[in-house]
Structure 1
Amino acid sequence: MKRFNEGDIIYFIATSVFVRKAKVVRNTGGFCTIIFDGNGNCGTSGTRVRESKLYRTEEEAKKVVEQHQNANKWR
């Protein structure tokens, strides 16, 4: 069962810190090909990532970033 469909707007965590908005352009075999919204230095480039690395809302993604930062705070 697919978590995301073509055309869905999703949020992706880049370098464990930055939340980026993107759109799903293809979903097969548990991987999504996403294209970024054009803001920033990546232009309209896209990438293929696992569905498990994508989030439906920006808040969901930010929560994961916070958890990651808190876990690494004590290292």
Structure 2
Amino acid sequence: MTLDAVEGQREGFPDDLRKMVERMKERLDGDERRLRRWLWTFYGLSFLPLLSALMVMTWLYWNSLGTITGWLASVVGA
């Protein structure tokens, strides 16, 4: 909010203060990009337990899955 209030008045600021505001804005933009990358990374990693469980269940019940898919195929009529 503070940065938005300063944006319109930036032209009247002394050069040093204007440069500091620009640097602050650049750093905030960089922090926002970094945070988005981290959040997307954790979002992707949150699916690892699900995928791991599916792989283990498929490995453990591979023979049963063949009979289930055969049963489904007969129900559907394929």
The structure with the largest helix share of the pair is 2
Same fold (TM over 0.5): no
The structure with the largest strand share of the pair is 1
The structure whose RCO (Cα within 8 Å, separation 6+) is larger is 1
Q: TM-score range by the shorter chain?
A: under 0.3
Q: TM-score, normalised by structure 2?
A: 0.27
**Based on CA coordinates, which of the two structures has the bigger radius of gyration?**
2
